[in-house]
Amino acid sequence: MMTRDVLLDMDQEEEDDEDGDIGDAPASKRPLLRTPSLPSGLALENLDQMNASGFGTLGSQHDFQSPEFEEFNGKADSLFFHDGQRRIDFVLVYEDESKKENSKKGSNEKQRRKRQAYESNLIHDGLQLEATRSVLDDRLVFVKVHAPWEVLCTYAEIMHIKLPLKPSDLKTRTPFGNFNWFTKVLQVDESIIKPEQEFFTAPFEKNRMEDFYIHDRDTFFNPATRSRIVYFILSRIKYQVRDNVKKFGINKLVNSGIYKAAFPLHDCNFSHPSADSSCPNERYLLYREWAHPRSIYKKQPLDLIRKYYGEKIGIYFAWLGYYTQMLLLAAVVGVACFLYGFLNRNNCTWSKEVCDPNIGGKIIMCPQCNICPFWELSITCESSQKLCIFDSFGTLVFAVFMGLWVTLFLEFWKRRQAELEYEWDTVELQQEEQPRPEYEARCTHMVINEITQEEERVPFTACGKCIRVLLCTSAVLFWILLIIASVIGIIVYRVSVFFTLSKEMRPSENGTDPIQKYLTPHLATSITASLINFIIIMILNIIYEKVAIMITDFELPRTQTDYENSLTMKMFLFQFVNYYSSCFYIAFFKGKFVGHPGDLVYWLGKYRNEECDPGGCLLELTTQLIIIMSGKAIWNNIQEVLLPWVKNLFGRYCSASSSEKITPRWEQDYHLQPMGRLGLFYEYLEMIIQFGFVTLFVASFPLAPLLALVNNILEIRVDAWKMTTQYRRMVPEKAQDIGAWQPIMQGIAILAVVTNAMIIAFTSDMIPRLVYYWSFSVPPYGTHAHHTMEGYINNSLSVFNVADFQNRSLENPYSRSGNYTTCRYRDFRNPPGHPQEYKHNIYYWHVIAAKLAFIIVMEHIIYSVKFFISYAIPDVSKSTQSKIKREKYLTQKLLHENHLKNVTWSHIGDLAKNITETVDNNLRPKLE
């Protein structure tokens, strides 16, 4: 039978299209459904070639078929229709137009007709529908969708879904061998969550149905696969024709308000097992062994996560768990380096000189602004002691270690990912993915496919594609420049606020004010600027999220994977500039271009260029990282956990009057929060941004991996709790890997080596101290008999003649704060009276040469080791390669033998008949 389409012809009606043209296609087109046996580009205008039962013929616009209404049978845990036989694969929710309040009748009628046409076409395409009115709200109607066996088989072949052929006889290696007793306490209890049986699989084909392991038709397609198939159908069913354009897809109907929600069902309540004996209670098991706080130390049940939520969510939690495990090693080394600096802070010679009243107390520093006073170097004693903790030899060791750690993490993750591809049967997933309905809707241009040499439809010509790429690139650059403008605004804020605070927070005469001792203008400016920067980052995140989605929608990628990869690159680019620009400024630009007293660099002709804190910019960078990392973690938990919990609590409170009524599973799930198709995207983005903080600037904050480790241990369980208890069940999706996040992490790993080398060279004082220790503390430049750090402070500060100050008419404290003739400043310049006064001295050029040499040596050493590690560790282990090859061999052999057997037995009768006829013809003349 042919497919029957019931469409509303509304060409003559005036109607507002609420959500644009997504899901629209010319009436002569239909979403492309491809099968392996059909040439690429051939559109299946009808499904009559598939001989699916239950398909009707094309009818008129009034020939609607509606779902039957059934009353709720009181079984709250039931996952089946009223008859208890047909499983609910999807649920659609709408509000009855006849019971809407304060709505236009014309608009309600149009929505009702669209929905009726859509549901009628679902029925004509073989799906079975049953409607039930809400128990708590009489206006809501729940349409339950069931896919019969024939429909499942048809679309499983169209979608190239791999299904079991026979149980696998390949042995799986236990990860810890004889040490399983040691890790048993960390493992999931197999008596509670039983291991999944492994099968050899192959893409499903209806004409080879007997080759597949169909032990029970009701369980051959698991609930996740059934929901994925039904969603594929729902996304491609048409409901209206308007201006010779067909509109289709459940997403468009939900966005326009015709349906309020569309989702697959959870299988039970998360807090207790289902009373229905046919329910697998997987949600309850996941909550108990995965999302519950008491399971925080246990490994994740990845196989059950993959079975219940699909491979896409499973691969995310597998990656997050592996990343967290690797962070444990980085955190241990980071804490060791921090403790090394903390325990040796009292042996820091240069810090002792700063705090010494006879050395630092007698060094008078030049004013840091036009209205700032002279100040003694000893007031930076506290910050210099803190700097000794972070700016130590341990920091250098940790920066080198992290350059190697990130390579080990990425390489070992590739191996783990290859194992999951084999275990979860996604090795050849790229053959299964279908075009997005939004892409198919725009396929109006015909081109010749270079591979098949046949015509196929594409959404735009080559010229149109170039224009779209140009517009998208221009939009991305524009918004990046806007982020940079916000960073410049923060810099202006820093300069102006420091100028104001320096004027207001003048030191007391005796210098004993405890507030001024700790809350200096530099510290106050740094903290407030970091907080404001964090707030701006959060606001811009909301804006750039919508901008990136708009640009990607305009770009129109072909598949969902292409769409997410394109959105990933744009969002990460926005977030990279948004989160890291202030850190890059503090690390590599702040305090580097300030000039020197008497020849200063000014912003806007008024404000002096910003200088580092007297203790150095490294502490300020550390403060920035702590505020952003901590604030981001707190904000994300509020946004991802607290808000859904409050919304669900409010929803339950609103329906408290009817709380004593027994509500069905579909209504309980409806009152949960929707996850959204991009929900997992934001989880990845959050972790990748954290990965950047852990690797890019770790030389300034060795405790960053520890903070990330603690956050991720909680993040795994919080995400698990959120998805299991607070959100509707997502549509299960296939995924082979983590997508575009993999090359992004590789790019961050390469950049991290450069940034950490430059932080050590240009932001910290490690290189100047080493140059002094090995060269300038002993003759011919120094006076000490042996290598020492004594005298470093005096050697690293240049001298300036107060008489050379410009604008002496300005109100300057140096005119009334003592008769100082000279002052000191942080730089390596010749003193006044030198033939090249105020020019860089020989120490400066030694330091610059040492910094460049350090960067080159460190980068080459780390990159060389990284290359060797990448080469030595294959992406796929030999055992996994052998398993993949053997499974492929056995699968092909099984299919070939079964096919050959069928061919042999089907033709043996004809062959015997031909042989008999030949023998008879040869013998008949002799007998005659």
Q: How far apart are CA 339 and CA 337, in angstroms?
A: 5
Neighbours of 407 (CB within 10 A): 24
> Is residue 532 a contact partner of residue 490, using CB atoms and an 8 Å limit?
yes
Mean pLDDT by runs of 10 across the 928 residues of the chain is: 51 44 49 39 36 35 76 85 90 85 70 90 93 89 94 90 81 52 69 80 85 86 92 88 72 88 91 80 91 88 92 94 95 94 87 90 83 82 86 89 92 92 78 66 69 68 77 83 81 75 57 53 74 81 82 82 84 86 86 82 70 76 85 80 75 56 88 82 89 91 92 91 91 87 92 92 90 90 88 90 66 52 90 90 94 93 91 86 81 71 54 52 44
Distance of CA 351 to the CA centre of its chain: 43
Q: How far is Cα 151 from Cα 170, in angstroms, rounded to an integer?
A: 33
Q: Which residue has the tokens 């009748």?
A: 105
Structural element, H or E, at residue 229: helix 223-234
Distance CA 651, CA 645 (A): 10
Label residue 922 exposed, middle or buried (CB < 10 Å: 0-12, 13-18, 19+).
Answer: exposed
What distance in Å separates the CA atoms of residue 25 and residue 249, rounded to the nearest whole number? 11
Paired strand residues for 519: none
> CB-side exposure of 323: number of CA atoms within 13 Å?
26
Cβ 455 vs Cβ 448: under 8 Å = yes
Residue tagged 């046949």 (tokens): 454
Give the DSSP H/E element, type plus range, for residue 318: helix 311-343
Distance in angstroms (rounded) separating the CA atoms of residues 61 and 831: 93
DSSP-assigned states of every residue in 707-730: HHHHHHHHHHHHHHHIIIIIBPPP
Q: Are 2 and 57 in contact (CB under 8 A)?
A: yes
Q: Which residue in this structure is represented by tokens 């509670």?
A: 192
DSSP sequence for 883-924: HHHHHHHHHHHHHHHHHHHHHHHHHHHHHHHHHHHHHHHHHH
Task: Give the separation between CA 189 and CA 497, rounded to whole angstroms.
Answer: 59
Phi first, then psi: what are they for 332, rounded to 5°?
A: -65, -45
How many CB atoms are closer than 10 A to CB 688?
Answer: 21
Q: Is 151 helix (H, G, I), strand (E, B) or coil?
A: helix
Q: What is the pLDDT of residue 853?
A: 95
Q: Are 618 and 387 in contact (CB under 8 A)?
A: yes
H or E element: which one contains 25? strand 24-26
**Hey, which bits of 434-571 come out as E strands?**
445-448, 455-458
CA dihedral sign of residues 884, 890, 892, 895: negative
Q: Where do runs of H (alpha helix) occur along 810-841?
A: none
Q: Is the peptide bond before 674 cis (omega within 30 degrees of 0)?
A: no
Measure the CA–CA gap between 642 and 58, rounded to whole angstroms: 50
Q: For helices 521-555 and 462-504, give the axis angle rounded to 10 degrees.
A: 170
pTM of the model: 0.83
Q: What are phi and psi of 143, to 5 degrees?
A: -100, 115
Cα separation values, 146 from 75, 151, 267, 794, Å? 18, 10, 15, 82
Beta strand spans in 204-359 (E): 238-242, 245-248, 261-263
For 639, the enclosing helix (H) or strand (E) is none
Residue 269: partners with Cβ closer than 8 Å, 6 or more residues away: 77, 283, 284, 668
Helix (H, G, I), strand (E, B) or coil at 80: strand
Instruction: Please say whether the beta carbons of 316 and 680 come within 8 A.
Output: yes
Map tokens 């950049």 to a residue.
751
User: Is residue 87 classed as helix, strand or coil in its secondary structure?
Assistant: strand
Are 686 and 541 a contacting pair, CB within 8 Å? no
List beta partners, residue 94: 141
**Alpha-carbon radius of gyration of the chain:** 35
Q: 152, 146 in Cβ contact below 8 A?
A: no
Query: Do the Cβ atoms of 196 and 307 come closer than 8 Å?
Result: yes
What is the per-residue burial (b if ≥16 Cβ within 10 Å, else e) of 276-296?
A: beebbbbbbbbbbbbbbeebe
Tokens describing residue 692:
């950047």
SS3 for 67? Answer: coil
584 three-state secondary structure: helix
Q: Give the pLDDT score at 31.
A: 45
